[in-house]
Amino acid sequence: MEPPDLITVTLAPDAAPRLHFNPRLPDDRHPSAGLRAWLADQPQLRGHHLFQTSGTTSAGAGAPWVALSAAAVRASALAVNQHLGTTPDDSWLLALPTFHVGGFGILQRAALAAIPVFATNWDPARYARTAADTGATLSALVPTQVSDLVRADLCAPANLRAVLVGGGRLDPDLHRRARQLGWPLLRTFGMTETASQVATEISPAAPAPTDPDRLPGPWLPVLAGWQLRLAGPIHDPGPGPANATRCGEPAAALELRGPALFSGYVQPDLHAPDSWQWVDPRRDGWWRCRDLVRLRPATRRASDDQPRLQWRGRIDRTIKVMGELVDLDAVEARLQALARDPGPPAAIRPAVTVDWLAVIRCADARAGDVPVLVLPAGLATDQIRRWLEQADAQLAPFERPRALWRIDSLPRSPLGKVRYARLEQRLAAAVASAGGASVTASQTRPDPPPPLEPWPPR
């Protein structure tokens, strides 16, 4: 199998900016001629790679582009190579699209280390077979791909020493099952704006025991070159009163500074149709992202000589319900854990999985925002009633979803992330077309209007 052309990852500092876009998108969502012409007249973007984020809220032709300098991409690759201890004996197995920074970063790391890259289109059996046949030692996946490997009951070949996992939260039970199959997963934290990783595990963790209160997640060592600090307001979006053991460190929005940080955004100009504008959101080199984290400084112990970061959620996934903060990611994680528990009827377990269940916000006249549970359309009410009653007992009153919404499929990004913003827009439109009644018109939880069903279902 021939490796990709590694020459394509280089970009001279004075070269025209390069757009990385999904070639499978419809024509009307490809970069327009107007954008390309506008970029040609922007000297500050010479020598930059432009990516659209792989996040849960961006999509379509109107999404902003993240501008990463060639120096930032190189700095990220050097830091990851250093963290992984890359040697001339290593090689990469590429199964991520290179129009996202996660896949593109693999090419840059390989080029700097002068090691080969073997590429394969995604198919779990083919991926495992290619990993064994090529002798690849390094790879990177997103949680959806890890789920595919686990569902297929595929074991990792002995030659793989590290598989980076990013692009979304890795479910703890999925992580445990993958590790039992031998996959040497290294959980990561990063984003397009940081040219890939900010913090990454050093070695694969041993499988953890199953526990519905596994939140919060792991403390990840911060890669070289990054400066991190917390920005207010400080709060703890914990998983609710059922989790009595929380870390004492505060959680807050993360601010970053470092050589791998992006230069700014190219985004549509809302005041001029088919026009673009350059926005640099950094202040004195610092950028505030929408992720909530905890930070720990390095210690003098040899085993803990790097600062560490613990991801706690996203600001745009935290809502206030009648004045109480509710972390939708934590509620979703709790419901996912209940779906795997032996308690619910066995009939629901094949249908309610970490790939399907979602918790989103819905505007409400009385409570402000309320959580809504999204489930597959074909699931019978009697299959899930007992499970949802158990969920009510596990959650605080203000955390409980106020309604149930059943749909055929969840909107996802090319990397498999749920597009929560698009899902919430669809729900808002459906509720509005049904009359726009409040989800919680009274404290007795009356039947919400279609398409919502009461919680728990009757």
Could you tell me the CATH number of the domain that includes residue 420? 3.30.300.30
Cis status of the peptide bond prior to 456, with omega within 30 of 0 = yes
Q: Is residue 331 assigned to a domain?
A: yes
Domain boundary (316, 348, 370) is at: 316
| Other residues' Cβ atoms within 10 Å of the Cβ of residue 276 | 20
125: Cβ contacts below 8 Å, ≥ 6 apart: 152, 154
pLDDT higher than threshold 90 for residue 75? yes
Mark which of 316, 338, 363 sits at the end of a domain.
316
Tell me the angle at which helices 101-113 and 70-84 cross, rounded to the nearest 10 degrees: 70
* Overall number of domains in the chain: 2
Percentage of the chain surpassing pLDDT 90?
41
Q: Please give the residue range of the domain that contains residue 391.
A: 322-454
Mean of pLDDT values over 432-452: 57
Confidence of residue 352 (pLDDT cuts 50, 70, 90): very low
Q: What is the pTM of this model?
A: 0.75
Direct distance between the N- and C-terminal alpha carbons of the chain, in angstroms, rounded to an integer: 56
Residue 327 and residue 251 share a domain = no
Domain end (from 316, 338, 371): 316
Residue 24 inside a domain? The answer is yes
**183 and 292 assigned to the same domain:** yes
Residue 457: its pLDDT value, please? 64
Q: Are residues 113 and 248 in the same domain?
A: yes
Q: Do 87 and 181 fall into the same domain?
A: yes
Confidence of residue 416 (pLDDT cuts 50, 70, 90): confident
Taking only the tens place, the pLDDT of each residue in 89-116 is 999 999 999 989 999 999 999 999 999 9
Q: Are residues 308 and 329 in the same domain?
A: no
Identify the CA nearest to 118 among candidates 102, 99, 131, 109.
Answer: 131
Q: Say yes or no: 212 and 244 in one domain.
A: yes
pLDDT of 408 = 85
- What confidence tens digit (pLDDT) does each residue in 302-319 have? 566 789 999 887 787 888
Flag whether 1 is in a domain.
Answer: no
